[in-house]
Chain A
């Protein structure tokens, strides 16, 4: 399937968002150079690939995959340095407590600058024909982040910020450039939250969700007659039922997303004693075959 160059991966906390972002980046990087941008201070997406990052630095994960960490603080610093070209003053400024208070009082400024940075990175990605995969905040904070530019327009009716907010908005709502990917696990709450965030992004922000990814789906091991034969095996029966229930719950979600025009893809539950780069690569191969080859 054809994907926009910028993919914004979000989902309920605990659904493996960072793992999915990392796996997706691996899959895309087999076709085209890819950058994985991590908005999580802990850089968990990059860590899932075994890469160690420092703030705002880029590391090479493979020949065609880079990972970069974006933090609001670093973006604020870059912005201040841009508008205050005298470095001695801008440095001093950033160290001052007063300035810290004032930026704290500027609602969403840091978040806004983060979006602006993503827009610039997207422009570069388009020029270089790269993919940009963003490990975004969990769905609870995503709307807050994505709607910050309209808030900025509200408090800054003219000037640089207002113009920037306009271009950020048109970038986010351009489905040829920007698309959301929402992650979930086979649990009702996670599915519900994924449906809610896609609806909110579409209706309130004009952002298109290109795919829903159901993570941690166990393969179907038992058929109904086998489950019925397990009555006398308490613990084993419960474990078998649990596995099948997760599988069935996953199957129930797809039609709900299809009704909203969103294709759903499944990633298998990795029944492994550790979850490391090798497992993430395996998930990447699944996405490569399921999502990209479609």
Chain B
């Protein structure tokens, strides 16, 4: 039995209504798009950014995806690690009144290596300390391909861009993730590595600090030493010097990571999970929701991308004056896409049932073509509707 609707006093109203109508971009300062690979996360990020600019916001959009797809669509080159103005002429022109003159869209592509280098340069206590880090074998590999560093650097860049008072909204596209927290949790993981007392003690001579070492640290040290010998990596000394070279810089990193965590939980930050209606992606998106909730992060919206647009009416066919053979083909075509639509609806209702409180489910209908221009992105942004 469903409880009767009760009129709540304003003070007793829950902070987030059960089903908000849609995501109001004007009241956000940060939108983070998370999701599995291949769902069009980059497209949705760009579409949200273009739409926000169209409705009068000053917007920055950043992609961390190595493939410069967003930049393609935005008409930018691959090497845009600083924000570049995107032309909105012919799209935002209809907008008049408040905010019209102030609206703008800038896009950039994160370069994790360059960002990491500049952070090291900013926090290093001396030029010598900086060079020690930049030349360290671990650092060179860490700042290159290792997953997690790009995520951390995106957070850093995000704080830098968010500090710009002329920007109303920052939209962040994230790397395809297997786990929801891969991205959001990256600063903590990197800091734990840098702050790991045990790691820095690994290289300490036996006897020294022994009283502070737990038995498992001693075991770890013995095994790591064996590991090092057998593998030929000779990593221990490098790891130790890497961690040591961050001495004194840790405070700066840690303060910024804490600010990034605060920013993620701020009331004007919206975490948006992007997915498609394929059952395997929906399952993954539901895992994302669960992981975020366990981490105390609120999902503001789910966007299901590329849903099949409204199908035409079958009745139109019976009255149409066309050859019977063509009519049969059209009926078959309609039935084919209706089957796909049924498949999609099964997935969507599963998603609706697991939607967290306060989150809105939105669908982005398939354009029927790949988005190539700002106008296409604006169209997707405009056509986002409650699902």
Contacts and interface: CB of A to CB of B under 8 A. Distances in A.
A44 B287 CA distance: 14
Contacts of A90: 223
Most chain B CB within a 10 A radius of its CB, from A105, A144, A160: A105
Contacts of A224: none
Contacts of A239: 311-312, 333-334, 337
A83 B230 CA distance: 7
Interface stretch (B18-26, B294-302, B320-328, B348-356): B320-328
Interface residues of A, number: 68
B216 A242 contact: no
A60 interface: no
B217 A84 contact: no
Contacts of A99: 220, 223-224
B242 to A, nearest CB: 7
B145 A98 contact: no
Interface in A144-193: 144, 151, 155-162, 187-189, 193
Contacts of A238: 312, 368
A274 B329 contact: no
Interface stretch (B31-39, B90-98, B163-171): B31-39
Given A13-B39, A104-B189, A156-B233, A275 B343 contact: yes
B89 interface: no
B304 to A, nearest CB: 13
21 contacts: A41-B178, A44-B280, A96-B216, A96-B217, A96-B219, A96-B220, A99-B224, A102-B224, A104-B189, A105-B142, A138-B37, A155-B233, A156-B232, A222-B333, A226-B329, A235-B313, A236-B312, A236-B317, A238-B368, A239-B311, A273-B339
Nearest to A193: B67
A146 to B, nearest CB: 12
Given A102-B199, A104-B189, A104-B193, A161 B233 contact: yes
Contacts of A92: 216, 219-220
Q: Which 10 A-B pairs have the closest CB atoms?
A: A159-B232, A13-B38, A235-B312, A14-B38, A13-B37, A107-B141, A271-B336, A98-B198, A273-B342, A158-B232
B233 A105 contact: no
Interface string A39-53: 011101001000000
Given A221-B333, A271-B337, A155 B311 contact: no
Contacts of A80: 223, 227
Given A96-B217, A108-B146, A138-B37, A42 B232 contact: no
A84 B340 contact: no
Contacts of A2: none
A134 to B, nearest CB: 17
A285 interface: no
B232 A157 contact: yes
A138 B176 contact: yes
Given A188-B370, A233-B317, 16 more contacts: A13-B37, A13-B176, A14-B40, A42-B178, A89-B222, A97-B196, A97-B198, A102-B239, A104-B148, A106-B235, A140-B176, A232-B320, A235-B313, A271-B336, A271-B339, A273-B339
Contacts, number: 195
B223 A105 contact: no
A193 B334 CA distance: 31
Interface string B118-151: 0000000000000000000110011011101000
A117 interface: no
Most chain A CB within a 10 A radius of its CB, from B65, B229, B333: B333
Contact of B330 (A47, A83, A236): A236
A5 interface: no
A109 B66 CA distance: 22
Nearest to A92: B219
Contacts of A151: 141, 145
A189 B198 contact: no
Contact of B37 (A140, A222, A230, A243): A140
Contacts of B254: none
A14 B39 contact: yes
